[in-house]
Amino acid sequence: MPNPKRRHSKARRDKRRTHDALSVPATSVCPACHEPKAPHRVCPHCGTYRGREVVEVAKTK
């Protein structure tokens, strides 16, 4: 197996890693309860999706 003759610089290493960063997950506001939720998903707080209740959510104190 061939081995590198010269050491790669920090700039070259960091250029390769520019696409490795994680992006922040997208959020939207639920129109029913105004809590943040993932887009195109049932709201985990109130259980509604597109204006109607889809999932029954247990009420906590």
User: Sign (positive/negative) of CA torsion 34, 40, 44, 48?
Assistant: positive
Give the mean model confidence (pLDDT) for residues 31-46.
Answer: 94
Is position 45 within any domain?
A: yes
- Per-residue pLDDT at 19: 95
Q: How far apart are CA 19 and CA 39, in angstroms?
A: 24
**Does 30 score more than 80 pLDDT?**
yes
Coil, strand or helix at 48: strand
Is position 30 within any domain?
A: yes
Q: What single letter denotes the amino acid at residue 22?
A: L
Is position 16 within any domain?
A: no
- Per-residue pLDDT at 57: 83
Is position 2 within any domain?
A: no
Is position 6 within any domain?
A: no
In this prediction the pTM is 0.60
Domains held by the chain: number: 1
Give the structural domain span for 36: 25-56
**Does 29 score more than 90 pLDDT?**
yes
Is position 10 within any domain?
A: no
